[in-house]
Amino acid sequence: MKYLLALAGNQNCGKTTLFNCLTGSNQHVGNFPGVTVEKKEGQIKRQKDVTIVDLPGIYSLSPYTSEEVVTRDFILKEHPNAIINIVDATNIERNLYLTLQLMELGLPMVIALNMMDEVRASGNSIDVDVLSQHLGVPIVPISASKNEGIPELIETVMKVLRSKENQMKLDFCTGAVHKAIHSIAHIIEENAKEAGFPLRYAATKMVEGDEPTRQALHLKESDLHIIEHVVADMEESLHTDREAAMADMRYQYIDQICKGCVFKHQETREQIRSEKIDRILTHKYFGIPIFLCIMLVIFVLTFNVLGTPLQELLESGINVVTGWLNDFLVKIHVSEWLRSLLIDGACAGVGSVLSFLPLIVLLFFFLSLLEDSGYIARVAFVMDKLLRKIGLSGRSFVPMLIGFGCSVPAIMATRTLSSDRDRKMTIILTPFMSCSAKLPIYGMITMAFFPKHAGLVMFSVYVLGIIVAIISGLILKSTLFKGNPVPFVMELPAYRIPAAKSVLLHMWEKAKDFIRKAFTVIFLASILIWFLQSFDWSLNLVSDSTNSILASIGSVIAPIFIPLGFSDWRASTALITGLTAKETVKSTLSVLTGAATDLQLSSVLQTIFTPLSAFSFLAFTILYMPCVAAFAATKRELGSMHAALLSSLYQTGMAYVVATIIFQVGRLLGLG
Residues 443, 303 contacting (CB under 8 angstroms): yes
**Spatial separation of the C-alpha atoms in residues 348 and 590, rounded to whole Å:** 6
Mean pLDDT of 241-265: 89
**Spatial separation of the C-alpha atoms in residues 627 and 436, rounded to whole Å:** 12
DSSP-derived secondary structure letter, 148: B
Residues 617, 663 contacting (CB under 8 angstroms): no
CA 331 to chain centre: 48
In this structure, what are the phi and psi dihedrals at residue 148, rounded to the nearest 5 degrees?
Answer: -90, 135
**How far from 290 is each of 370, 375, 521, CA to CA, in Å?**
13, 12, 38
100 pLDDT band (50/70/90 cuts)?
Answer: very high
413, pLDDT greater than 80: no
Mean pLDDT of 517-543: 81
Q: pLDDT tens-digit profile of 124-148?
A: 899 999 999 888 899 999 998 888 9
Residues 116, 124 contacting (CB under 8 angstroms): no
For the chain, report the end-to-end CA distance as a whole number of angstroms: 71
Radius of gyration of the chain (CA): 29
For 649-655, which contacts have Cβ atoms below 8 Å and span 24 or more sequence positions? 649/625, 650/428, 650/472, 651/428, 651/431, 651/432, 651/623, 651/624, 651/625, 651/626, 652/623, 652/624, 652/625, 654/432, 654/468, 654/472, 654/623, 655/619, 655/620, 655/622, 655/623, 655/624, 655/625
Contacts of 553 (CB under 8 A, 6+ apart): 532, 573, 576
Residue ranges of the alpha helices (H) in 90-174?
92-103, 116-121, 128-135, 150-163
**Spatial separation of the C-alpha atoms in residues 234 and 245, rounded to whole Å:** 8
Q: Which of 101-115, 129-143, 278-292, 346-360 has the lowest mean pLDDT?
A: 346-360
Residues 567, 559 contacting (CB under 8 angstroms): yes
Highest mean pLDDT among 331-340, 497-506, 569-578, 645-654: 645-654
**Among 140, 139, 71, 127, CA closest to 101:** 71
DSSP assignment of 548-569, as one string?
SHHHHHHHHHGGGGGGGT---H
The CATH number of the structural domain formed by 3-163 is: 3.40.50.300
Strand partners, 141: 113
**Spatial separation of the C-alpha atoms in residues 156 and 146, rounded to whole Å:** 19
User: Side by side, which strands form the sheet with 109-114?
Assistant: 27-31, 38-44, 47-54, 3-9, 82-88, 109-114, 139-141
Q: Domain 175-263 belongs to what topology?
A: Helix Hairpins (1.10.287)
Q: pLDDT tens-digit profile of 171-221?
A: 777 789 999 999 999 999 999 999 989 899 999 999 999 888 999 999 999
DSSP assignment of 254-313, as one string?
HHHHHTTTEE-SS--HHHHHHHHHHHHHT-TTTHHHHHHHHHHHHHHIIIIISHHHHHHH
Q: What pLDDT is recorded for position 80?
A: 92
Q: pLDDT tens-digit profile of 19-35?
A: 888 887 655 554 444 44
Q: What pLDDT is recorded for position 31?
A: 44
Categorise residue 174: left if φ over 0, alpha if ψ from -120 to 50, beta otherwise. Answer: beta
Strand partners, 113: 87, 141
Strands 38-44 and 47-54: antiparallel
Number of CB atoms found within 10 A of residue 196's CB: 11
Torsion of the alpha carbons at 524, 526, 532 and 533, rounded to the nearest 10: -170
Averaged pLDDT score across all residues of the chain:
84
**Spatial separation of the C-alpha atoms in residues 134 and 82, rounded to whole Å:** 19
Strands 47-54 and 125-126: unpaired
Contacts of 251 (CB under 8 A, 6+ apart): 93, 97
Cβ burial, residue 312 (10 Å; 0-12/13-18/19+): middle
Residue ranges of the alpha helices (H) in 390-453?
397-402, 407-413, 420-429, 439-449
| Higher-scoring residue by pLDDT: 40, 303 | 40
**How far from 600 is each of 336, 525, 575, 628, CA to CA, in Å?**
22, 21, 20, 30
503 pLDDT band (50/70/90 cuts)?
Answer: confident
Please state the pTM of the whole predicted model.
0.68
Q: What pLDDT is recorded for position 391?
A: 79
Cβ burial, residue 241 (10 Å; 0-12/13-18/19+): middle
- Around 243, how many Cα atoms within 13 Å sit in the side-chain half-sphere? 7
Q: What pLDDT is recorded for position 37?
A: 55
What residues does each domain of the chain span? 3-163, 175-263, 333-353+383-487+501-668
**How far from 301 is each of 152, 379, 435, 463, 633, CA to CA, in Å?**
41, 21, 18, 17, 32
DSSP assignment of 318-369, as one string?
HHHHHHHHHHHHHHTT--HHHHHIIIIIIIHHHHHHHTTHHHHHHHHHHHHH
| Higher-scoring residue by pLDDT: 481, 168 | 481
Q: pLDDT tens-digit profile of 147-167?
A: 899 999 999 999 998 886 666
Residues 510, 405 contacting (CB under 8 angstroms): yes
489, pLDDT greater than 70: no
Q: What pLDDT is recorded for position 38?
A: 61
Mean pLDDT of 61-67: 73
| Higher-scoring residue by pLDDT: 491, 535 | 535
| % residues pLDDT > 90 (the chain) | 23
Q: pLDDT tens-digit profile of 570-586?
A: 888 888 888 877 878 88
- Around 604, how many Cα atoms within 13 Å sit in the side-chain half-sphere? 18
Q: pLDDT tens-digit profile of 191-200?
A: 999 998 989 9
- Around 33, how many Cα atoms within 13 Å sit in the side-chain half-sphere? 4
Mean pLDDT of 38-43: 78
